[in-house]
């Protein structure tokens, strides 16, 4: 018997899946797959793989937005090809996408290209903001991550253990970190 299957994804562990899962349940999904992982690649997305293995002919995969399924056009097309092979339709709640029609497929492909384009644009904006903050020099609000180890601790471990590698191991940090701390 065909089912409405829901798939929800957020990029980080601090984000919440509730809005998506509530929308999918409200749309009539009887089975939900959800995960907290980046969508820039399909590798390592266990719930996506479980969902793709689970769906059967006649099922309707339902998502809230296209970028929840994939962030690159090649990945999106690959996922859709797998769905089509199985006779599974795709429905997107927030964007008028229904892959049973030629118009719906075209809309789906256009939105997939936009989702792919959005990631590098967002990264470029973020980099511009960081560069602008760093250009302020010592007055910059962007200080980077605070040091987690003190120079005195590294020097003491080096004296006790005799080598930078042994000091790094004893402190639970990388050898590169030992060099960086000693150079500061």
Residues 25-82: tens digit of each pLDDT = 999 999 999 998 887 777 788 999 999 999 999 999 999 998 898 877 788 888 988 9
Quote the strand ranges of the chain, DSSP E.
Answer: 4-10, 31-36, 60-63, 89-92, 97-98
For 104, the token pair is 């719906």
Stated pTM of the model: 0.59
168-181: pLDDT as tens digits = 999 888 889 889 88
Indicate left, alpha or beta for 97 from its phi (over 0: left) and psi (-120 to 50: alpha): beta
142 secondary structure, DSSP code: -
Is residue 177 flagged as an active site residue?
no
Question: Catalytic residue among 11, 34, 38, 177, which?
Answer: 11
| Pair 40, 25: CB distance under 8 Å | no
| Pair 160, 153: CB distance under 8 Å | no
Overall average pLDDT of the 74-93 stretch: 88
Q: How many helices (H) and strands (E) does the chain have?
A: 7, 5
Give the residue from 42, 31, 37 showing the smallest Cα distance to 17.
37
- The Cα–Cα gap between 33 and 28 comes to 14
């Amino acid at each position: 018997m065909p089912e409405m299957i829901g798939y929800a994804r957020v990029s980080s562990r601090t984000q919440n899946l509730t809005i998506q899962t509530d929308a999918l349940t409200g749309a009539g999904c009887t089975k939900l797959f959800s995960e907290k992982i980046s969508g820039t690649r399909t590798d390592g997305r266990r719930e996506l793989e479980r969902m793709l293995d689970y769906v059967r002919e006649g099922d309707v995969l339902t998502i809230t937005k296209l970028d929840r399924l994939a962030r690159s056009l090649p990945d999106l097309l690959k996922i859709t090809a797998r769905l089509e092979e199985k006779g599974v339709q795709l429905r997107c709640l927030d964007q008028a996408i229904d892959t049973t029609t030629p118009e719906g497929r075209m809309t789906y492909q256009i939105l997939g290209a936009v989702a792919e384009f959005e990631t590098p644009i967002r990264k470029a904006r973020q980099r511009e903001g960081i560069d602008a903050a760093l250009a302020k020099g010592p007055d910059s609000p962007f200080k980077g991550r605070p040091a987690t180890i003190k120079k005195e601790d590294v020097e003491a471990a080096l004296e006790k253990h005799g080598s930078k590698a042994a000091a790094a191991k004893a402190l639970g940090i990388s050898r590169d970190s030992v060099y960086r701390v000693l150079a500061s």
